[in-house]
Amino acid sequence: MKFALHKTKTMEKKPKRTDVNKLGEFGLIDHLTNSHQCINPSTLKGIGDDAAVLDYGGQPIIVSTDMLLEGIHFDLMYTPLKHLGYKSVVVNLSDICAMNALPLQITVSIAISNRFSVEALEELYSGIFAACRNYNVDLVGGDTNSSKKGLIISVTAIGTGAREKISYRNGAKPGDILCVTGDLGASYLGLQLLEREKQIWQSNPGIQPDLEDQTYLIGRQLKPEARTDMVLSFEKGGFNPTSMIDISDGLASEIHHICKNSGTGAIIEEALVPMKDETQLMALKFKLDPITCALSGGEDYELLFTASEKDLPFIRSLPGISIIGEIRPPEEGIQLKTVNGNFHEITAQGWQHNQ
């Protein structure tokens, strides 16, 4: 191989330039990685699910990784560093849960500009360790780096579960019931509240922020939890989802992943989508359609899963689970049945009138 200063390549001559936004995040990953063939027999599942699954001869190894960037994923204006540390761990643990597995270890790499003090990092790590304690997870590696600007956190989570219980995105079958844990949309509305107060404060720093005592909504945004409790309940009940994914980008996006991977359609009933009263009220206050907040808001870190009809009694017996619809044949598409009985197509971004 010949080495040269490739200025011409990277800096001057650009024969073709396709904007990355043209492909979108998922399209971009697909485009960049679809030529890659996994060759090691120890790779059971590569790219394309919530986590990879490896087999080194013992319990399966579930691995997931996520990067969080200041100014993109979080705003330090209203995100306490301790909460940020906690959340950056939790969002990765949630991916392990989505495989019906439990996390055991994490690595954390951070990059910081010199505006961060040792005390600020202690705050961040106190949140990381709080998450480790809450979820019985060990911090086993990582590095610290300098950044030119801002804070960057990259977490890898590793865990395991019984081989026959691992839930992928591709196991849903027409007739399966569609379920979600907890409630949706609250995190998104917590973010709206924080953003509103930030705007007000920026135009007049003398004004005290008014978060309207919305502890629940703001807590869902700043300090989400991973549903390891659900994974444990499933195990205790001898129940395996036919497919599962965690809700990080919004219900609409996640149901698309399940249907695309499983080769199915789905129907979601608006009236069955779990939302707290305070979420719905705050949506209306922001002049937003509550169901849109649930479909497109994201950052709920709840589990969306499908179950065989035979598991209906178990699902019904478990508190904190809502049956929100059904998996349908692929030709029926992915639809929302509104409270008025109308049907609308759900796009990955949310839903739109099918006219």
Within residues 41-60, the interface with a copy of itself by CB under 8 A covers 42-43, 45-47, 51-52, 54-60
Query: Could you say whether residue 77 binds a copy of itself (CB under 8 A)?
Result: yes
Among 93, 97, 137, 266, binds a copy of itself (CB under 8 A): 137
Listed residue (222, 226, 224, 228) closest to 194, CA to CA: 222
Which residues inside 5-34 make contact with a copy of itself, applying CB under 8 A? 5-7, 9-11, 14-23, 25, 28-29, 31-33
Residues in 178-217 at the binding interface with a copy of itself, rule: CB under 8 A: 194, 197, 201, 209, 211, 215
Asked if residue 170 lies in contact with residue 243, where contact means CB atoms within 8 angstroms, the answer is: yes
Q: Does 257 bind a copy of itself (CB under 8 A)?
A: no
- Size of site (CB under 8 A) for a copy of itself: 112
Q: Which is nearer to a copy of itself, 215 or 352 (CB)?
A: 215
Determine if 285 is a binding residue for a copy of itself (CB under 8 A).
no
Phi-psi region of 315 (alpha: psi -120 to 50; beta: other; left: phi over 0): alpha
Single residue of 100, 117, 233, 352 touching a copy of itself by CB under 8 A: 117
Q: Are strands 43-45 and 52-54 parallel, antiparallel or unpaired?
A: antiparallel
> Cβ–Cβ contacts within 10 Å for residue 238, how many?
9
The neighbouring-strand residues paired with 322 are 180
Measured in Å, how far apart are the chain's first and last C-alpha atoms? 56
Q: How far is the CB of 281 from a copy of itself (least distance, A)?
A: 18
In this chain, which of 89, 90, 116, 191 binds a copy of itself, going by CB under 8 A?
Answer: 116
Part in contact with a copy of itself (CB under 8 A); list of ranges 142-150, 229-237, 279-287, 317-325: 142-150
| 144 to 173: interface string for a copy of itself, x by CB under 8 A | xxxxxxx-x-x-x-x-x-------------
- Looking at the Cβ atoms of 81 and 293, the one nearer to a copy of itself is 81
Across 25-42, b (16+ Cβ under 10 Å) vs e yields eeeeeeeeeeeeeeeeee
When asked if residue 339 is in the footprint of a copy of itself (CB under 8 A), the reply is no
Distance CA 344, CA 12 (A): 48
DSSP helix/strand/coil, 317: helix
- Which residues neighbour 203 within 8 Å (Cβ) at sequence distance 6 or greater? none
CA distance 112 to 179: 40
327 binds a copy of itself (CB under 8 A): no
CB 168 within 8 A of CB 99: yes
* Minimum distance of a copy of itself from residue 11's CB (angstroms): 7
Q: Which residues ranging from 212 to 251 are in contact with a copy of itself (CB under 8 A)?
A: 215, 218-219, 222-223
Q: Any contact of residue 101 with a copy of itself (CB under 8 A)?
A: no
DSSP state string for 282-312: HHHHTT--HHHHHHH------EEEEE-GGGH
